[in-house]
Structure 1
Amino acid sequence: MSSDTIARLQERLATLNPLHLELEDDSQRHAGHAGARDGGGHYRLTIVAEIFRGRSTLARHRLVYDAAGNLMQGPVHALSIRALAPEEVPHQAR
């Protein structure tokens, strides 16, 4: 199920035109957690996109949650987000 969820999330996040997108399933680290027991996964996202330039962290997260849509109400229980504008990417990671 997680690979399907990752593919669906990546498809939806593509609407933000990311220059870089890294999505990891972190569910195994949360085994036994209430959301995990109910079938929702835990994911870690790093996304770099022009759309984040000049926006607050809260605004960036809202953009991500809006793009993810109803996946956040079932297949995704938790999403750790690192949303960056291109100039915020550490030099060695470019």
Structure 2
Amino acid sequence: MSVEDIIRRKLTEAFHPAQLEIENESHLHKGHHGSPHTGESHYRVLLAAEAFEGINRVERQRKIYAVLSEELAGPVHALALTAVTPAEAARRNL
């Protein structure tokens, strides 16, 4: 199973998102210091879920980091997050 598949499964199970987009950006960091050169190390995630209602941005990110703690301690070097409610996603046209 790819790292992207693991991220998708864990986030889906934890947050039951209305919207989930995962973009592998590892190719953009090829040759950068700290990059493990695996092709599965840098990701951009858009997660829209009701679970974020009433929770500030920092707490939303903490919740996501907790769910992905194994991946962040291992193969994932960088994770860019957009964590919003479905209403916020609609207002921002995400």
TM-score interval, smaller chain: 0.7 to 0.9
User: What does the per-residue CA deviation read over 1:40-72, in whole Å, with 9 as the maximum and x for residues that have no partner?
Assistant: 611000000011111111000011111112100
Distance 1:34 1:81 in 2: 21
Structure-2 change in CA distance of 1:69 and 1:20 (3 Å): same
Residues of 1 paired with 2:25 and 2:89: CA distance? Answer: 22
**1:65 aligns to what SS in structure 2?**
helix
**Which residue is equivalent to 2:64?**
64
Q: Residue 24 of structure 1 contacts residue 44 of structure 1 at CA under 8 Å; is this kept in 2?
A: yes
Q: Once superposed, what is the RMSD of the aligned Cα atoms?
A: 2.0
Against the structure 1 CA distance between its residues 92 and 85, is the aligned structure 2 distance closer, same or farther, given a 3 Å change threshold?
Answer: closer
Identity %, equivalent residues: 32
TM-score after normalising by structure 2: 0.86
Could you tell me which runs of 5 or more consecutive residues in structure 2 were left unpaired when the two chains were aligned: none
What is the alpha-carbon distance in structure 2 between the residues aligned to residue 37 and residue 6 of structure 1? 16
Whole-angstrom CA distance in 2 between matches of 1:59 and 1:49: 14
